[in-house]
């Protein structure tokens, strides 16, 4: 039970603890009543429990055993004390069900089970406007993710119904451990202040130095602190937004190429780095032979090869080799098609 201002409070205890205490209280009252009737009315154990329960809940079918002054006095005391205890216990059980405490506890247990089974996911710290959009893009791409948000009022959007929202401090190691940081593929920190994002990055890199971290930078000039903390990528929404607004006037055709209209809805293209596995049917074939646009729908922007570096805008005669990293642009569906092709073995 929780200690509140020097006293113990049953109301402040966890739901299962309250349930255990309530049931223990009821059982204790029934046992005291059964023992009293067994000794005073000289009843057997079954009849003693029968009398204790019918008396406690004021059913009163009939009296059993020896009805004497001692039995009557015990019944009076038992009713006065036991009825009050039973009423309190039953009201506590009702409160657990009506107030939803028990249901919330069971939901949290299910979430903990899902967290333990989750792997190769992305942790999104902060569920403001930027964190919301990042999580939505991950959901659209079919990438598993966990949202970490300290404000319990956030994370209840219908768009993310059924997704895992972990309420806690993203700068706390225990919270990150619960989010499965040791099994994650990456982390996005989009908290309100740059100082918080620096602390999250430092904490993450202490636990997993190899984990890619994308950090939000609200103010110009804080990129150095984030980079020193270990952030692999830094995103400034104001800088990107301002640059995009200018490009829409300076190079509108280029922006229209990036923003594709699909069924009347605007859809942002994505860029992905995709590894060519030795079992892939791409290995040893040229870009012209594969006919990438027709088979996957993705556009190959470049090929990154160990020893030679990035080859931007490769020609149709460029051959793919195992270990190449394809830089491709397209919709999430087309990029997923290319990923499956690059893996091979029907994966």
Tens digit of each residue's pLDDT (9 = 90 or more) over 176-213 = 998 999 999 999 999 989 999 999 999 999 999 999 99
- pLDDT computed for residue 261 by the predictor: 42
Integer Cα distance of 285 and 344 in angstroms: 14
- pLDDT computed for residue 262 by the predictor: 41
- pLDDT computed for residue 99 by the predictor: 59
Domains and CATH numbers, the chain: 2-101 (1.10.287.70), 119-235 (3.40.50.720), 269-343 (3.30.70.1450)
> Max alpha carbon distance in the chain (Å)?
108
Above pLDDT 90, what percent of the chain? 22
Tens digit of each residue's pLDDT (9 = 90 or more) over 318-333 = 899 999 999 998 888 8
Q: Nearest CA to 141 among 271, 23, 7? A: 271
Tens digit of each residue's pLDDT (9 = 90 or more) over 102-117 = 565 566 677 778 888 8
Between 172 and 84, the more confident residue is 172
Two tokens, residue 64: 């059993």
Cβ 64 vs Cβ 50: under 8 Å? yes
Element (H, E) at 175: helix 173-178
Write the DSSP symbol of residue 317: T
Integer Cα distance of 171 and 199 in angstroms: 6
- Please give the span between the terminal C-alpha atoms of the chain, in angstroms, as a whole number: 51
Cβ 289 vs Cβ 239: under 8 Å? no
């Amino acid at each position: 039970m929780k200690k509140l201002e020097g006293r113990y409070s049953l109301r402040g205890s966890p739901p299962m603890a309250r349930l255990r205490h309530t049931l223990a209280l009821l059982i204790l009252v029934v046992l005291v009543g059964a023992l009293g009737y067994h000794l005073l009315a000289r009843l057997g154990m079954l009849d003693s429990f029968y009398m204790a329960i019918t008396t406690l809940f004021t059913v009163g079918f009939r009296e059993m055993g020896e009805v004497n002054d001692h039995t009557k006095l015990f019944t009076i005391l038992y009713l006065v004390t036991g009825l009050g205890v039973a009423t309190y216990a039953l009201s506590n059980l009702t409160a657990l069900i009506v107030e939803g405490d028990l249901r919330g506890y069971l939901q949290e247990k299910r979430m903990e089970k899902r967290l333990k089974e989750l792997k190769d996911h992305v942790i999104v710290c902060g569920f403001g406007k930027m964190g919301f959009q990042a999580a939505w893009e991950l959901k659209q791409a079919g990438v598993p993710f966990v949202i970490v948000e300290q404000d319990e009022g956030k994370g209840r959007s219908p768009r993310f119904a059924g997704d895992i929202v972990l309420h806690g401090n993203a700068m706390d190691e225990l919270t990150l451990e619960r989010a499965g940081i040791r099994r994650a593929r990456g982390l996005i920190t989009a908290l309100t202040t740059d100082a918080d994002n620096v602390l999250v990055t430092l904490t993450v890199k202490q636990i997993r130095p190899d984990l890619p971290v994308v950090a939000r930078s609200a103010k110009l000039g804080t990129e150095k602190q984030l980079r020193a903390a270990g952030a692999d990528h830094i995103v400034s929404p104001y800088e990107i937004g301002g640059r995009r607004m200018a490009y829409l006037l300076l190079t509108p055709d280029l922006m229209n190429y990036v923003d594709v209209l699909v069924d009347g809805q605007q859809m942002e293209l994505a860029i992905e780095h995709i590894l060519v596995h030795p079992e892939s049917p791409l290995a040893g074939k040229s870009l012209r032979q594969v006919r990438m646009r027709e088979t996957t729908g993705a556009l190959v922007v470049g090929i990154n090869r160990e020893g030679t570096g990035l080859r931007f805008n490769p020609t149709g005669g460029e051959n793919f080799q195992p270990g190449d990293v394809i830089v491709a642009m397209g919709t999430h569906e087309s990029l997923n098609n290319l990923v499956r092709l690059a893996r091979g073995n029907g994966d």
